[in-house]
Each structure stands twice: as structure tokens, then as C-alpha cells.
Amino acid sequence: AFIFNFSGRITLQARDSNAPEPAIRVPLKKRKPEVCLVIKCRPIFQIISTCWSEDGASPCILIETPHKELEPADPSNFKQYTFKNLFIQASPIPHLNWANSDDVWIKMLNKELKYVHDKGYLQRHPKLQPKMRAILLDWVLEVSEVYSLHRQTAYLAQDFFDRYMLTQENVSKDYLQLIGITALFIASKIEEIYPPKIYEFAYVTDGACDMWDIQRTELQILKALDWNLCPETPISWLKLYAQVEARKDEENFLEPQFSQETYIQITQLLDLCMMDITVLDYNYSVLAAAAFCHFSTFDIVHKVSGLTWESVSHCYQWMTPFMETLQSEPKPQLKNFPKVRADDRHNIQTHVAYLDILERQMPESNTGQLSPVAAGTILTPPSSTEKPPTH
């Protein structure tokens, strides 16, 4: 069986304020060559909730060549940018009383150029395999559900992780859990009104990472990403497409008007696809459009996204086996979360046995039991008696 083992905890030590920022730590203990990874987490059974509660429009828009700040910092990645004028449909976003819809649309499109992701980063890390990323992201989704975090938070964490790894070299598998939980910690502070405390993120690693580990890694990630932390994720694109297709009241465009039941089915497809590193071959807007197309028609997808079939077809075909696999699974149901309004339930990230589903889809991968959580256990936040007296 292929298991991740994120052990090797580092303790708190006094720091010299003049000393340089420490590099990624070296494991303190030798590990058997055949031992692979187990993501450590709290095997507690009682779940304890936490509190946090055509009128004259041009048929096309000319998007200018990206400005200087959108140029890649690394010249080796220059080939990933398409510097040309792109003619697209007028913004599908209706008139907004709080912003210019064309400006909003163009800013979203420009982010597709600014925030670069590339599955080729694994070539920088010879000790890592795609299945390790799948295991880590599956665990991140589980932690997100436990703490009732929003889908956007989980997808921001995935984006931070993949873009950070693109800036690094020779990262060991022993530090993936630390990078993953830190990415989720950063994302929650950006997206959540009441994000979990840092000790709660450290708690779910069952001692594999402490608060100082997360704080130090947070600074490393922020520096590596140059504080570029606001991508348009597949979730934000999907929500836009769904809202444009279902809109009835243009005055309240920000209030969901689409079917929650259909929305969570599409997000489940995106969740499953996210486990496969090939997902990084596609722009986030294309990913959301391809997933939406599996539950609609391309005419509707073209109307809400402006994308051509040529732009979406390859991703749609790649996504088809994932869709066929999910069709044999029970349909996802809306879950109730403590202190989450009924009209916001669809926005909370949920988790199913995605690794088992992938294994059934691709049995030839011979991955064995991939789940990072021991059988029969439930990952939970710390109980009130286990929390520190001061925050």
C-alpha cells in the first residue's frame, strides 16, 4: 500500500533576530526506504463544531496586451503567456449598480494570465509523485469540511500549494503536509469571516506540524508567491457561470439564484478532477466551463462564458471519464453545518472518498489504500478542553 508518512516534528527554538530565515528543515529521523506517506490527523470520534459563522453593446471587446506587472518573473515560464489581442464576446455579466460589468469581466480574464500554474513543477521535485499531491489535497478537503470552510477557501489553498511548488526545488514528501496546511491557513484568513486559529490547524496534523512550523512556512509561501493571493479559482468562475445562466433579478446579482442541488454536483466533479495533476494543464475558467457543460449544453456555456467549443472541447473530453465515474456514485446531498445558513450550505466545502473513486476509475495505477485517515476514524477540530487558555 502507498501511504504518506509526515512525521519528524520540529520543536520550538529561540531565534536570533539577525539570523537568516531557516531553509526547509532536514528530517531528524532516518526513514525506511520502503515507507511512504501517512498524513497524520486526529482520530477523534466526536465532532465538535466551531463558530464562524443589447443595448448598444459592442459584439466584442478588445483586451489589451497585459501590462508590465503581468509579465512572468521567471523568463523560463514566458512561453506560458499568450501576448496577443483577444477578441471575445461582450461581458456576460449583467449591469451592476456597484461596478462596471465590463471592467469586472476584463479583470477576471487578466488574472488568467497573471496567475500561472503548470503541472511540470513535479520535474523540480524528483522525490514527489502525482499521487502524493492527490493524497494531500484530499486531506485538505477533509479538513475544510471539518472546519466548515468555504469551497473558495479550499480552492485557494490548492492554488497556493501548486504555485508555491512551482517556485521551489527538491521538496521532500515529508514537508507536503506542512505546506498544505499552511496554504489552507493563509486561504482561510483571506476568505473566511471567522477563520480557525493557527493552533487548530496545527492540531489536525496530530503533532506533525506545530504553530511555529506553520508561521515560518506561511512567510516562505507569501514571499515565494510575491503576495499574489487573489486568483479567480474554478469555483469563482463556476459561480459566475451558474449565476449568469440562472439570473432573474439583475438588481440582486450577488444573491444565488441557481439550483443548489445542481451546483454541488458540478463542484463534486471539479473536486474529483482537482485530484489529478493534469488539471493544471487548463485555465481555471476553462475547467469551470467544461464542468458546467457536463450538466448543461454548450450553447449555454458559450452564452455565460464567451468561450468557443475549440477552447473547451479538450478539457471537456479529459473530464468525461471523471463524470462517468461519478454517475455510478450516489448524488451529493446538501449538508447542514452548525451556524451556516441554509442558503449558504452549497458554498461549504464537502468531502467524499475521492481517492477511492479515483482508484476505481484507474485500477491499473495500483495505488493501494490511499486514504490518509485510518479506517473508521473521523477527523475533528479540537474539543474545548484541549484548546489553549489564551489565543
* pLDDT, position 316: 97
Note the maximum CA span of the chain: 69
- Residue 313's domain spans which residues? 1-391
pLDDT band at 253 (very low <50, low <70, confident <90, very high): low
Q: Rounded CA gap, 163 and 171, in Å?
A: 13
Q: Rounded CA gap, 45 and 345, in Å?
A: 23
* pLDDT, position 246: 79
* Block residue for cell numbers 506533525: 208
Average pLDDT over residues 318-342: 91
Q: Rounded CA gap, 254 and 118, in Å?
A: 32
pLDDT band at 6 (very low <50, low <70, confident <90, very high): very low
pLDDT band at 48 (very low <50, low <70, confident <90, very high): very low
pLDDT band at 254 (very low <50, low <70, confident <90, very high): low
Q: Taking all residues of the chain, what is their mean pLDDT, rounded to a whole number?
A: 77
Would the pLDDT of 94 be above 70? yes
- Among 137, 165, 285, 170, smallest CA distance to 225 is for 165
Which of residues 326 and 84 earns the better pLDDT score?
326
1-5, 69-73, 130-134, range with greatest mean pLDDT: 130-134
Asked if residues 291 and 319 have their Cβ atoms less than 8 Å apart, the reply is yes
Assign 3-class secondary structure to the chain: CCCCECCCCCCCCCCCCCCCCCCCCCCCCCCCCCCCCECCCCECCCCCCCCCCCCCCCCCEEECCCCHHHCCCCHHHHHHCCCCCEEECCCCCCCCCCCCHHHHHHHHHHHHHHCCCCHHHHHHCCCCCHHHHHHHHHHHHHHHHHCCCEHHHHHHHHHHHHHHHHHCCCCCHHHHHHHHHHHHHHHHHHHCCCCCCHHHHHHCCCCCCCHHHHHHHHHHHHHHCCCCCCCCCHHHHHHHHHHHHHCCCHHHCCCCCCCHHHHHHHHHHHHHHHCCHHHHHCCHHHHHHHHHHCCCCHHHHHHHHCCCHHHHHHHHHHHHHHHHHHHCCCCCCCCCCCCCCHHHHHHECCCCCHHHHHHHHCHHHCCCCCCCCCCCCCECCCCHHHCCCCC
Which of residues 45 and 297 earns the better pLDDT score?
297
Asked if residues 158 and 134 have their Cβ atoms less than 8 Å apart, the reply is no
Average pLDDT over residues 363-376: 39
Q: Rounded CA gap, 295 and 297, in Å?
A: 7
Domain count, the chain: 1
CATH for 5: 1.10.472.10
pLDDT band at 249 (very low <50, low <70, confident <90, very high): low
Spatial neighbors of 57 by CB under 8 A, at least 6 apart, are 90
Dihedral Cα 49, 266, 292, 259, nearest 10 deg? -70
Which of residues 260 and 48 earns the better pLDDT score?
260
pLDDT tens-digit map of 145-184: 999 999 999 999 999 999 999 999 999 999 999 999 999 9
- Among 230, 144, 139, smallest CA distance to 190 is for 230
Which of residues 318 and 388 earns the better pLDDT score?
318
* pLDDT, position 145: 96
In this predicted structure, which of 183-187, 230-234, 251-255, 257-261 has the lowest mean pLDDT? 251-255
Average pLDDT over residues 87-114: 80
In this predicted structure, which of 177-181, 316-320, 353-357 has the lowest mean pLDDT? 353-357
